[in-house]
Amino acid sequence: MNQAETDGEVTRDMPPRQIGKIHEKTSDDDMDIEVVISERIKSSILGGALAPGLKLPEESLSEIFGVSRSRIRSVLQRLAFEDLVEIKRNRGAFIASPSIREARGIFDARRVIERVTTEIVTRTVLTIQLAKLHERVKGQDEAWKQGDYRRGIRELGEFHLAMCALAHNQALTVVLERLIRRTSLILALYGLPNAMMRMPAMYTNLLAIVERGESLSAARAMERCLFTLEKDLNFRSIFSPNAELRDVIHAVAPD
């Protein structure tokens, strides 16, 4: 049994970034407003500020953002497409709550895909492409050090997607993109910040192996990265039961 199933309760230790109230009506374009609202809710979810399974009432969100319920409904549909929200018939919208079993399955699938793509990349990668991957690792490291939880998770996912794209297999890239979106949610809800802060060092080691052209070793290093992320999940993380939806959404800044 691993840490995710045996550890006691823990609390998150990365404070949200504080900003002023959102100015929702900055454009006459409905889509622009919906993008702003979507990004604000997404920031709250991927910033680890909203609990899995929390209901997102249309009426409350309409009041918070000062827009119609029909627009909120469109925003929730957008977030559902990104696997961040689950819409249940006759019940409403809820923050998605991936199960332990689903999380295990996602990481299993990613290891299968990324082992293959990492071997291919190691045999074909160019120096300039490696430099760009190193820049992504640097950006991720900076995000963790600045306490920017959402950016760190995003940079982590983009590193893996960029690695896969270098294998030039569109089918695998499309599949992995969906898995990474779900992984980002899982990390936001159940990941431990201190554990994820170790990842840049692991990615730097991975890239050193890739640069040496050791394809099998690189594939194993990628597997270790994914095993580390999975091992350090904690499905007993505490979310504040008294947090007001309005306060949480306005306390976390979008990118």
**Residues 109 and 224 reside in one and the same domain:** yes
CA distances from 196 to 187, 206, 217 (A): 9, 16, 22
Distance CA 37, CA 6 (A): 37
Mean pLDDT of 74-101: 92
| Nearest alpha-carbon partner for 192 in 54, 51, 48 | 48
**Residues 197 and 87 reside in one and the same domain:** no
Distance CA 191, CA 182 (A): 13
Residue 54 maps to which CATH number? 1.10.10.10
Mean pLDDT of 123-127: 95
**Residues 112 and 131 reside in one and the same domain:** yes
**Residues 70 and 126 reside in one and the same domain:** no
**Residues 227 and 114 reside in one and the same domain:** yes
Distance CA 42, CA 48 (A): 10
**Residues 67 and 152 reside in one and the same domain:** no
What pLDDT is attached to residue 251?
58
Average pLDDT taken over every residue of the chain: 84
> Could you write out the DSSP letters of every residue in 48-89?
T-S-TT-B--HHHHHHHHTS-HHHHHHHHHHHHHTTSEEEET
**Residues 104 and 63 reside in one and the same domain:** no
Say what the pTM is.
0.76
Q: Are 193 and 144 in contact (CB under 8 A)?
A: yes
Domain limits at 138? 100-231
**Residues 10 and 117 reside in one and the same domain:** no
| pLDDT band, very low/low/confident/very high, at 22 (cuts 50, 70, 90) | very low
Burial class, 171, CB count within 10 angstroms (exposed 0-12 / middle 13-18 / buried 19+)? exposed
pLDDT above 80 for 102: yes
| pLDDT band, very low/low/confident/very high, at 43 (cuts 50, 70, 90) | confident
Six token digits for residue 44: 């709250």
Q: In terms of C-beta distances under 8 Å and separation of at least 24 residues, what long-range contacts does 141-145 make, across chains too?
A: 141/200, 144/193, 144/196, 144/197, 144/200, 145/197
193-232 tens-digit pLDDT: 888 899 999 999 999 999 999 999 999 999 999 999 999 8
**Residues 215 and 114 reside in one and the same domain:** yes
Residue 165 maps to which CATH number? 1.20.120.530
**Residues 38 and 105 reside in one and the same domain:** no
**Residues 118 and 131 reside in one and the same domain:** yes
**Residues 91 and 115 reside in one and the same domain:** no
What pLDDT is attached to residue 44?
83
Number of domain units in the chain: 2
Distance CA 149, CA 153 (A): 6
